[in-house]
A and B are shown apart, each in its own frame.
Chain A
Amino acid sequence: MDVALLEELALTGALVGTMYGLVALGIVLIYKTSGTANFAQGAIAMMGAYVTWAFATWAGLPTWLAAVAAVTVMFGFGVLVERILLRRMIGQPVIMILLLTFGLEVFLRSAAPGLLGSTIKRLDFGIPQAPVFIGDVLINRAYLIGGGISAALIIVAAVLFSSRLGILMRAVADDQGASWSVGIRVERAIATAWGLAAITATAAGALWGSMQGVSWSLSLLLVKALAIAILGGLDSVPGVLVASAFVGVCEGLATGIIDPLIGGGTRDIVASVIIIVTLLVRPYGLFGQEQIERI
C-alpha cells in the first residue's frame, strides 16, 4: 500500500468533502427552522453557479464581484421560494413539502440549462492551477482554496447559530406557536433561513462551477450533501464540518483502496452506503438530537 498515495487521497478527499459540506450546510439550516429537508438544494447551487456566470458574462463583472452579486440575488430567490411555494404548504404533512422541493429540483434542473444554454460554461476565479507539494504529497491547489473557503463559511455559520439569530431559529424549530406568543417573527425567521441556505448553495455552486464548469451536473451535489447532513445530524451545524471531512476522506480512500479490487466506481456509492449505515446504527447522526415525539 502506497502510504503517500493514501495520504494524498485522504487530504484531497477531506478538502473536497468540505466543499460538499457547504451544500449540506444549507440543508441543515432549512431543517433546523422548517423541519423539512430541501431536496432542491443541489439545484439551487447549480442555479447560483449559473447566475454567477450570467453576471460575469453578460454584465462583464469580474468573477468575484459577480459571485457577490449572485449571492445577493439568490438570497432574494430563497426568500421568494419560501414565500410563494412553502407558505401554502404550512400544515401539510412533511412528505408533501419534501416532494414539492423535489418538483422544484426537476424544474430548476431543466430551466437553467434551457434558458441559459446547455453547453458547459466556464467560471474563472483566477485560482492558479499549479499543485502544491508537501514532501512527496501533492495537494491540489484549487481544492485547497475551495476547501478553505468552505470550512470558513461553515465555521461562520456555526458561530452565527450561537448568536441571537441562531437562538431565534432554534426557538422557531422547536415550537412555532410558542415562538409567536413571545413575539418572534416566525415567518421572517423561516424566510431568512431559506435565504441563508440559498446563499451557501450559491457559494458552493460558484466554487464547484469554477472547478468543473457550470452545467446541470452540479445539481448532483445533492446526494453527497444529504449523506453529510444525515451523518452529521440534520440539525447540527458543527456536525456538517466533521461529517463532510469524513465523507470526503471515505470517498477518496475508497477510490484508492477498493477500486483496484472491484474494478471501479465505488466513489459513487460511498455516500449511499454511509446513509444506510448511519440509519441503521445511529439514525440521528453523530451530533443530531434525538427526536422524542409527544402524542
Chain B
Amino acid sequence: MMFYRRSGILHLDYRSERQLWPLRFDRFLVATVIALLLAAPLIVNRLYLVAYLVPWLIWSSATLGLNLLMGWAGQVHLGYGAVMAIGAYTSVHLVRFGAPLELAMLAGGVASAAIGVVFGAAALRIKSLYLAMATIAMQYIIDFAIIHLPGVSGGVLASIQVPPVRFLGLQIEGDLSAYYMAFFVCAMIALFLLNVDRTAFGRALAAVRERDFAAEIIGIDTFKYKLLAFWASSFIGGVVGCVLVVCYLRTVSPDQFHLDLSIQILAMVLLGGLGSVLGSFFGAGLVLFTPIVLNVVIGAAAVRFGFQIDADLKAHLPLMLYGTLIVAFLSIEPLGLAKVYGNVRNYFLLWPFRTART
C-alpha cells in the first residue's frame, strides 16, 4: 500500500478510467523498465545484450503473437515455428531482391498470414482438438516445402545469409542497431496487444473465447473472428520471423524452424500465462534462461559439492525440467507466471492489511 496508493485516484471522465495503468506506481514501473531497456547498451556489457536481451525481446514478441491466438481467442496453434519460417524466408528473399527491409518485413507477415489462414480455415469449424492436429500437420508440410523447394531454401547447402540492410534509416550492423530494431518491433507488438481488449475486435474475441455458440447467438460471426485472430497472429509471427533472422541469426536455414521451436513458444505462452502481455515476457524469459541457469547450477554444484552427474543425464536435464515445468504449471497454476505476479501485486496493494479470508 505504501507503493500502490489507490486513495485519491478519482476518475472524472471515461478516458481516465480506461487507462491501461491507473495506478501511479504501475506507470512508474513501466516507465522504468522502458528506460532501462533503452539505455541497456550503456549499462550492461555486450555479452548480456547479444546473448540474453535480444533473444528475450524477439522470443517475447513471438510469444505475444501466439498468445493473441491462444490467450485472447482461445484457439490453439502447434505450428508457430512454421509461421515464423514463412515470414523469415519471404522477407530474406525480398531483401535480397532489393526491396527495403520495412516492406519485406510486412510482406513476410502477410505471406505467413495468408498461408497460415489456409490451414487454420480447414479446422476452425470443428473442435479445437482438430485445430491442434491441423497445425501440427502445417508444421511438417511447411518444413518439407522449405527443404524441397531450392528456390526457397537456397540449394543443397541450404543456408542463406542476410545481406546488410537498413531499417527506418538505421543501418543494421553489429549488435547495437540489431538490439534497437528488435526493441522497436517488440514495443509495437506489445502496444497492439495491450490495446486489443479496448477494441471491438478484442471484445468479440473475448466472447468467442468464453462461449462460442453463445457469441454466435448474439450475432458475432465466430468463424470470421477466429479467422481474423488466426490472420493477425500469423502476421505477427511472420514479422517476428523476419526480425529473428535479421537481428539475431544473420542467416536463415530450415533447421531453425522445426517443431521444437513451436513447442518452445507454446511453452512460453503457457508458462507465462494465457491472455497476459506481461506473462508473455515472463514466459519467454523462463524458457529461454532455464537451460542456461541449469547448466551453470549443475556446473557449480559439481564444483562445490564434488559430485558428477553422468554426461548423458546432464545433457538431457534442461529438456526434462522444461517438460516438468509445463506439466507442473498446467496442473498447479494454469494461469501461469502472470497470475503469480498478480498475486504478489495484490498482496502489496493491500499491505499491511490482508485480503479477507473466507
Contact = CB atoms under 8 A, between A and B. Distances in A.
A268 B140 contact: yes
A76 interface: no
A273 interface: yes
Contacts of B322: 106-107, 110
B141 A276 contact: yes
Interface string A266-295: 101101110110011001000000010101
A276 B327 contact: no
Contacts of B127: 94, 291
B323 A104 contact: yes
A102 B263 contact: yes
Nearest to A290: B126
Interface in A229-285: 230, 234, 262-266, 268-269, 271-273, 275-276, 279-280, 283
Nearest to B128: A95
Contacts of B130: 230, 279, 283
A230 B133 contact: yes
B152 interface: no
A89 interface: yes
A164 interface: no
Interface string B179-221: 0000000000000000000000000000000000110000000
Given A37-B129, A102-B326, A269 B119 contact: no
A113 B312 contact: yes
Interface stretch (A9-17, A54-62, A114-122, A144-152): A114-122
B132 A265 contact: no
Interface residues of B, number: 46
B76 A98 contact: yes
A119 B353 CA distance: 58
Contact of B334 (A92, A109, A110, A113): A92
A234 B132 CA distance: 14
B19 interface: no
B83 to A, nearest CB: 15
Contact of B213 (A100, A113, A279, A295): A295
Contacts of B143: 268
Interface class of chain A by DSSP: helix
A110 B126 contact: no
**Looking at chain A, what size class is its interface with the partner chain?**
35 or more
B324 interface: yes
Contacts of B324: 103, 107
Given A85-B327, A92-B334, A275-B133, A111 B320 contact: yes
Contact of A88 (B78, B122, B331): B331
Contact of A99 (B123, B213, B315, B326): B326
Interface in B112-138: 119, 122-123, 125-130, 132-134, 136-138
B172 interface: no
B326 A103 contact: yes
Contacts of B236: none
Contacts of B126: 279, 283
A275 B326 contact: no
A114 B315 contact: yes
A111 B327 CA distance: 14
B328 to A, nearest CB: 8
B141 A110 contact: no
A262 to B, nearest CB: 6
B75 to A, nearest CB: 9
Interface in B8-49: none
A273 B137 contact: yes
B144 A269 contact: yes
Contact of A272 (B74, B137, B213, B327): B137
B51 interface: no
A223 interface: yes
Given A223-B140, A272-B140, A276-B122, A100 B331 contact: yes
A265 B140 contact: no
B316 A100 contact: no
A95 B76 contact: yes
B263 A94 contact: no
Contacts of A85: 327, 331
B266 interface: yes
A85 B328 CA distance: 9
B107 interface: no
B319 interface: yes
B309 to A, nearest CB: 10
Contact of B316 (A105, A111, A295): A111
Contacts of A262: 148
A108 interface: yes
A205 to B, nearest CB: 18
B140 A102 contact: no
Contacts of A226: 133, 136
A36 B143 CA distance: 27
A4 interface: no
A92 B331 CA distance: 10
A96 interface: yes
B310 to A, nearest CB: 8
B128 A107 contact: no
B140 A269 contact: yes
Interface of B: 74, 76, 78, 119, 122-123, 125-130, 132-134, 136-138, 140-141, 143-144, 147-148, 213-214, 263, 266-267, 270, 312-313, 315-317, 319-320, 322-327, 330-331, 334
The 5 closest A-B pairs by CB, nearest first: A107-B323, A114-B316, A103-B326, A110-B319, A106-B323
Given A100-B327, A279-B123, 19 more contacts: A37-B129, A85-B331, A88-B331, A89-B331, A96-B334, A98-B76, A98-B132, A102-B78, A102-B266, A103-B323, A103-B330, A106-B267, A106-B319, A107-B320, A265-B147, A265-B148, A276-B119, A276-B138, A291-B127
8 contacts: A92-B334, A98-B76, A99-B330, A100-B326, A104-B323, A105-B323, A265-B148, A279-B133
